[in-house]
Structure 1
Amino acid sequence: MTRKEFIADQGAERIDQFLTRQYPEFSRAKIQRAIAKGNIEINGKIVLEKSHVIHSTDHISAVIELPTLIPQPHLDIPIVYEDDSILVIDKPPGIAVHPNPGQKKDSIAGWLLGRYPQLAAVGEGAFRPGIVHRLDADTSGLLVVAKTQGAFKFLKKQFQSRTIEKEYAALIHGALHPTHGVFDQPIGRKTGQARLQAGIGREARTEYWVKKEYRLPRIDGPVSAGGRAGGEIDIFTLVRVLLHTGRTHQIRVHFAAAGHPVAGDLVYGGRFKSRDRLLFPRQFLHAVKLSLPLPGGRKKEFKSQLPQDLQVCLNQLTISRPHDSR
């Protein structure tokens, strides 16, 4: 076991919520068990209550057992850019950034450790070698990784000061009005619930621009089993999304709360989930652009094309109305 030290910087917050953010690879239940065992100290005193509230500048000391990460150099991960300090990759869908404890599935962390063994000493432990931000397993696209501890600290600071721009392409259900807007709702999790929701929690800001509207005759039953087009029309909208904050599931939660869940999202998709299983292999979300200052001082922009599986999904739809809101 390794002891890690943190300084609270978000104001009043439950200790289990704080530690869940620090250890995103762990469930809140595991974090709560560590608290109950007396593995967490706040300002030098052991805390046993998961609901204990911490405040800015509180010093947290945690001992939580990290699982062993298996190196996976065999994975085919496209490299977009590389220098002595950073690495930018184009993450394929279906691969987690780091696996859940106890799992032996493919992961970006495993690939990094296999291809760049020295990254075990970069970042916040060998389980997260050089990783400064994440994408959901079913989200594809651009991800930046630090190759040195100096670059790691630099990139973490840039994310905290919001000088790094992350832009996504998403296909959402329904016609979106207005064609340019901002979702400015906090995101958090109610006690006892696994899913995140809008309206509670931490500040979250998502800006969008409508690019195109699509139409599709509604299919009754699996196409492979002879499903027929019904009389109703499903409408989808392709949007460009800019994140001003970086909360877990932020895009998915904000659009779902607005009544326009991301196509193919089987967690937040609501009444669309059963039909989406017939049309989409995964959630339609791709990190298309990443703009960031490099440790050397200059700023650089990286782009990624829509992957083939999502392009195939668009090809089965009919363009109803093009837009140029951005």
Structure 2
Amino acid sequence: MIQETDSYDNEEQDLYEHFRIVVDKGQSLLRIDKFLMHRIENATRNRIQNAIELGNVLVNQKTVKSSYKVKPNDIISVVLPHPPRDTEVYPENIPLNIVYEDDDVLVINKPAGMVVHPGYNNYTGTLVNGLVYHFQQLPQLPGNDGRPGLVHRIDKDTSGLLLISKNERSMTYLAKQFFDHTITRKYLALVWGDLTEDGTVTGYIGRSLNDRRVMAIYDSEEKGKWSVTHYKVLERLGYITLIECQLETGRTHQIRAHMKHIGHPLFSDATYGGDKILKGTVFGKYKQFVENCFEMMPRQALHAQTLGFVHPATKKYMHFEAPIPQDFESVLNKWRKYIAATSDQNA
């Protein structure tokens, strides 16, 4: 039996109980991480194990290890430092940049800075709040409460194309294309370093053991989900390179984590260390030039430029491209002028 509850007292801080599970009388002995993976929607074993390590899972009001085996009548509590919130999404009159719309799908060009869906610390002002204002009956996938119409998402500070379903039929059809990796998604990214060749980054992506806000790449499937990014060099600009990334899988922070993993973090990406001068001198005019670029684009240089999919009703392939946003274009042009000027001085 699973109950959603209110709060739980802890000596160190106020913790709130998000789930309480009373283990059935007939339950056989089973590791708690496996048990919870099958009882809580969208909970992966890796996430559960991390929650247990952080002390967010209690059995009979005591912390346990992942190897603990649940027994009949155990009371399992999942506690977090923020209160549970209902999954109702409140409509807000937020302007949407609609690239394409018909009875089944929407294609939206999301600006950088807009959160896609409500979540902790971001319950209003999101793309989904705007969607439910403009479109009344958006569908939801099972276990995807609070995210009507969404079949995928992009980070808050990533700009570009998002695909939205307007009914359950298209939701199911498009979700299968994402699951089968047949959706075409290409991103423009500006990365630190001089990349000379095209390549592919692979690995199991999961939460960093040192910083839970950051994704890391591992060589074991027990630590993350398989991920693949293909990249192509478009323009070399001395200390930075413009590349095109094509996603084969779509994991959280995939491109950002992959490029960091191979030593080429995204330009101006504060989360993955790209907001510092990583190539070139840290003195003089060059330092000021780079800092000016950071001010012009105070977010990761990543843009979801291309989106292609088979339409759920017509079964025809559809292709969309979003123009590069002004902040990204301005930084690119600034680097082009800098490279041209330094080349002339060295000629």
Q: After TM superposition, is the score higher than 0.5?
A: yes
SS at 1:158 equivalent: helix
Distance (Å, rounded) in 1 between the aligned partners of 2:88 and 2:121? 9
Alpha-carbon contact 1:69-1:126 (below 8 Å) kept:
no
Cα-to-partner distance string for 1:51-86 (whole Å, 9 max, x where unaligned): 479xxxxxxxxx97534422112x222111111111
What's the CA shift for 1:30? 11
- Residues 1:287 and 2:304 are matched in the alignment: yes
What's the CA shift for 1:118? 1.1
Task: Specify the alignment match of 2:186 in structure 1.
Answer: 167
- Residues 1:70 and 2:93 are matched in the alignment: no
SS at 1:22 equivalent: coil
Distance (Å, rounded) in 1 between the aligned partners of 2:39 and 2:196? 38
- Residues 1:206 and 2:229 are matched in the alignment: yes
Task: Specify the alignment match of 2:125 in structure 1.
Answer: 106
Q: Computing the radius of gyration over CA atoms, which structure comes out larger, 1 or 2?
A: 2
Over 4 Å off, 4+ runs = 13-21, 27-35, 273-276
Distance (Å, rounded) in 1 between the aligned partners of 2:237 and 2:39? 42
Counterpart residue type for residue 306 of structure 2: K
Distance (Å, rounded) in 2 between the aligned partners of 1:28 and 1:80? 39
Counterpart residue type for residue 141 of structure 2: G
TM alignment of 1:68-147, pairs within 5 A:
68-73=88-93, 75-119=94-138, 121-124=139-142, 127-147=146-166
Task: Specify the alignment match of 1:41 in structure 2.
Answer: none
SS at 2:201 equivalent: strand
Cα-to-partner distance string for 1:89-145 (whole Å, 9 max, x where unaligned): 0011100101323534411110111111211x4334551011110100000100001
Alpha-carbon contact 1:122-1:146 (below 8 Å) kept:
no
Cα separation, partners in 2 of 1:316 and 1:14, compared to 1, 3 Å: farther
Cα separation, partners in 2 of 1:67 and 1:252, compared to 1, 3 Å: same
Task: Specify the alignment match of 2:216 in structure 1.
Answer: 197
Cα separation, partners in 2 of 1:95 and 1:318, compared to 1, 3 Å: same
- Residues 1:258 and 2:262 are matched in the alignment: yes
SS at 1:204 equivalent: strand
Task: Specify the alignment match of 2:327 in structure 1.
Answer: 309
What's the CA shift for 1:289? 0.4
Q: 214, 236, 240: which is aligned to 2:240?
A: 236
Task: Specify the alignment match of 2:174 in structure 1.
Answer: 155
Task: Specify the alignment match of 2:72 in structure 1.
Answer: none
Greater mean deviation of Cα atoms: 149-158 or 247-256: 149-158
Unmatched 5+ residue regions in structure 2? 6-31, 69-77, 79-83, 279-289, 341-347
Cα separation, partners in 2 of 1:140 and 1:29, compared to 1, 3 Å: farther
Cα separation, partners in 2 of 1:92 and 1:28, compared to 1, 3 Å: farther
Cα separation, partners in 2 of 1:84 and 1:105, compared to 1, 3 Å: same
SS at 1:134 equivalent: coil
SS at 1:282 equivalent: coil
- Residues 1:247 and 2:231 are matched in the alignment: no
Distance (Å, rounded) in 1 between the aligned partners of 2:38 and 2:294? 34
TM alignment of 1:42-57, pairs within 5 A:
51=66
Cα separation, partners in 2 of 1:268 and 1:295, compared to 1, 3 Å: same
SS at 1:256 equivalent: helix
Alpha-carbon contact 1:173-1:262 (below 8 Å) kept:
yes
What's the CA shift for 1:14? 5.3
What's the CA shift for 1:31? 7.1
The percent identity for this pair of structures is: 33
Task: Specify the alignment match of 1:187 in structure 2.
Answer: 205
Cα-to-partner distance string for 1:245-302 (whole Å, 9 max, x where unaligned): 1010000001111111001100002554895744532111000000111112111111
Cα separation, partners in 2 of 1:111 and 1:165, compared to 1, 3 Å: same
Distance (Å, rounded) in 2 between the aligned partners of 1:198 and 1:21? 25
- Using structure 1 for the length normalisation, give the TM-score: 0.72
Alpha-carbon contact 1:78-1:89 (below 8 Å) kept:
yes
Distance (Å, rounded) in 2 between the aligned partners of 1:83 and 1:292? 14
- Residues 1:298 and 2:316 are matched in the alignment: yes
Alpha-carbon contact 1:256-1:262 (below 8 Å) kept:
yes
Alpha-carbon contact 2:37-2:43 (below 8 Å) kept:
no
SS at 2:225 equivalent: coil
What is the aligned-residue RMSD (CA, Å)?
3.8
Cα separation, partners in 2 of 1:187 and 1:87, compared to 1, 3 Å: same
Counterpart residue type for residue 260 of structure 1: H
